[in-house]
Amino acid sequence: EPEVTQTPSHQVTQMGQEVILRCVPISNHLYFYWYRQILGQKVEFLVSFYNNEISEKSEIFDDQFSVERPDGSNFTLKIRSTKLEDSAMYFCASSSLNTDTQYFGPGTRLTVL
Amino acid sequence: RKEVEQDPGPFNVPEGATVAFNCTYSNSASQSFFWYRQDCRKEPKLLMSVYSSGNEDGRFTAQLNRASQYISLLIRDSKLSDSATYLCVVHRVPSASKLTFGTGTRLQVTL
């Protein structure tokens, strides 16, 4: 069964450093998403991406964040200058249509020290 | 008012019990509804979609009441493997592509 994959599974970084989280969505899907979950809190939407551009973003997704689909398979989330409060699980998801079920990857645990 | 509201639990039930979870949502424009399951430190996984007519998948039954903006999940004959957090999720397509999650209800099934 096709699945969303994410790398790395755990990323530790120093405050102020840039990180790039990587995702490979399901191959025939057209819509891509990033969500985050701070430990003990709910899953929160960050951004959705379609046709090589952002279709929607939340208030969390400020200028420190960016997304890119650099090739036909990868979908990345970059955090330019990490803060302590960026520590969370980051989940990538994809769907074939924006009305369809979103399938989640296993997540990247980001720890900012 | 929170967009999606759930009782966080935990619900501690013995194996074989029937347990019900409720969820309310605030935005009447919400169009699609789901229950996801999340195991500790894992990704959310779709359990089932929720339809106005109600739908059943084995031991799981989901119900939607649009007038009351209320969603429910019933689990019959609970198994130890049902222990997880159950997330109520709404989707406001076509106006927005994002999923909005509740905080989840924790279920612990015991021997």
Residue B96 has pLDDT above 80, yes or no: no
Best mutation site among A104, A108, A109, A111 for testing chain B: the one with the most B CBs within 10 Å?
Answer: A104
Residue B17 has pLDDT above 80, yes or no: yes
B-chain residue closest to A46, CA distance? B98
The amino acid at residue A93 is A
The amino acid at residue B109 is V
pLDDT at B94: 67
Q: What CA–CA distance (Å, rounded) separates A102 from B63?
A: 20
Residue B104 has pLDDT above 90, yes or no: yes
Residue A84 has pLDDT above 80, yes or no: yes
Of B41, B94, B103, the CB nearest to A99: B94
Q: What percent of chain A has pLDDT over 90?
A: 86
Residues on chain B touching A105 (C-beta within 8 angstroms): 43
pLDDT, tens digit, 9 for 90 and up, residues A35-82? 999 999 999 999 999 989 999 999 999 999 999 998 878 999 999 999
